[in-house]
């Protein structure tokens, strides 16, 4: 809910729903019900809290970036990212039949965008991905016996790393920092 207008719309919808069931409530009564649903004793308190939130400018919040990797083959992409790395395919988009794919994959809160569109990214990009449990992740991948990639671990001054390279020469460096 953004401000008091949303609460008023909720009260109006409640009043209409009750009227459809032959239960007459005033607008004031439905406002009080909405306030109680949000844990406030009365409408005036909820309205003041919402006005207070509206008067406070939102803080700047920067979210983690979402890397975009260039891909050239949808089947190889799905085999690598979903089959081998264990990412979930969240969604796919094409502007029409026989158009390039743009999709999102994710795993454990990490999101990647993969694109066949020539202007979106250059092949050979790299993402540095902080992780915990890199040894377990490496063991999981090794157990899959993927014929094109056998990632190992190596110590870097900043942590234990495992690098994988997708079929399009994009590099993902998973690092458990020390």
Confidence of residue 4 (pLDDT cuts 50, 70, 90): low
47, 112: one domain: no
Q: Quick: pLDDT tens for 22-67.
A: 988 888 888 888 888 888 888 888 888 777 666 667 688 888 999 9
Q: Does residue 61 sit within a domain?
A: no
Contacts of 77 (CB under 8 A, 6+ apart): 71, 101, 103, 114, 166, 167, 168
Please tell me whether residue 36 adopts helix, strand or coil conformation. helix
Q: Is residue 62 part of a domain?
A: no
Rounded distance between C-alpha atoms, residue 56 and residue 157, angstroms = 44
pLDDT attached to residue 49: 79
Residue 79 sits in a domain whose CATH number is 3.10.180.10
Whether residues 114 and 155 share a domain: the answer is yes
| 3-state secondary structure (DSSP) of residue 20 | helix
Digit-coded pLDDT (tens) for 137-168: 999 999 999 999 999 999 999 999 999 999 99
Residues 16 and 78 in one domain: no
Number of domains in the chain: 2
Domain contains 95: yes
Distance (Å, whole) CA 93 – CA 64: 22
∠ Cα 91 60 89 (to 5°):
10
Q: Are strands 110-115 and 68-70 parallel, antiparallel or unpaired?
A: parallel
CA distance 69 to 57: 35
d(C-alpha 165, C-alpha 43), whole Å: 57
Burial 32-54 (b: 16+ CB within 10 A, else e): bbbbeeeebeebeebbeebeeee
pLDDT value at 79 more than 80: yes
- Residue 76: pLDDT band by 50, 70, 90 thresholds? very high
Residue 63 lies in a domain: no
Range of the domain at 117: 68-177
The span from the CA of 16 to the CA of 30, in Å, is: 10
């Amino acid at each position: 809910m953004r401000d008091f207008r949303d609460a008023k719309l909720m009260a109006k919808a409640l009043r209409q729903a009750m009227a459809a069931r032959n239960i007459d409530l005033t607008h004031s009564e439905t406002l009080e019900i909405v306030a109680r649903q949000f844990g406030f004793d009365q409408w005036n308190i909820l309205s003041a809290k919402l006005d207070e939130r509206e008067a406070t400018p939102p803080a700047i919040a920067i979210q983690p970036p979402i890397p975009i990797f260039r891909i050239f083959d949808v089947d190889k992409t799905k085999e690598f990212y979903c089959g081998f790395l264990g990412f979930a395919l969240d969604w796919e988009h094409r502007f029409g039949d026989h158009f390039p794919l743009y999709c999102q994959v994710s795993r454990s809160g990490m999101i990647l965008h993969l694109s066949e569109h020539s202007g979106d990214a250059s092949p050979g990009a790299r993402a540095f991905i902080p992780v915990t449990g890199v040894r377990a992740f490496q063991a999981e991948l090794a157990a899959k016996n993927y014929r094109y990639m056998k990632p190992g671990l190596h110590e870097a001054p900043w942590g234990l790393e495992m690098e994988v390279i997708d079929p399009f020469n994009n590099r993902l460096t998973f690092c458990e920092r020390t």
